[in-house]
Amino acid sequence: MSYSFTLEAILAIGLNDAIGNKGTLPWHIPSELRLFKSITEGHTLIMGKNTFVSLPSLLSNRHHIILSNTMPVTDGVHIVPSMSAALNKADELHSEKVLLIGGVSVFHEALHECSVIHVSRVMLAPEADTFYAFNTLHHRIDESVCFRDPSTKVDIIYQKYKRII
């Protein structure tokens, strides 16, 4: 099926491929959170149930589509049982851009379909229980920017990948 939106993804990965710890991010880096907000604001987000539960609240000015067969009806979100249902719901919402934001099962299922992938490479190897090794086989780096978070002094390499295959 053809959709009217672009499908993208956004993720932050530690040096040890860490993406989560005990249901949250394994770090708190304000400038990386601002980057996430600037990329996702005004768009539709697709996520798994655990990713949704890890959010402090609904993210303003964004549609939330949650992949789950067990999550109860929740105000302000769309709960769907599959990735195809999530993509159909995003189309119904007249989304221009849809971003996969996690977790691992969401990335495994659809990351290869994304036209753009935003990756924050966090220069830490934190304690974690959730890991994801981003495979760049279908994408190439289109943009790369290094920056240091002023409050934590953690270096981040932001990389924007575009689909090549």
Question: What are the extents of the domains in the chain?
Answer: 32-148
User: Is the predicted pLDDT of residue 74 greater than 90, yes or no?
Assistant: no
Q: Tell me: the pLDDT tens digits for 116-160?
A: 999 999 999 999 999 999 888 889 999 999 999 999 999 999 999
> Using CA atoms, how far apart are residues 38 and 11, in angstroms rounded to an integer?
13
| Residue range 77-121, pLDDT digits in tens | 999 999 999 999 999 999 999 999 999 999 999 999 999 999 999
pTM: 0.95
| Nearest-angstrom CA–CA distance, 26 and 12 | 10
Whether domain 32-148 has CATH 3.40.430.10: the reply is: yes
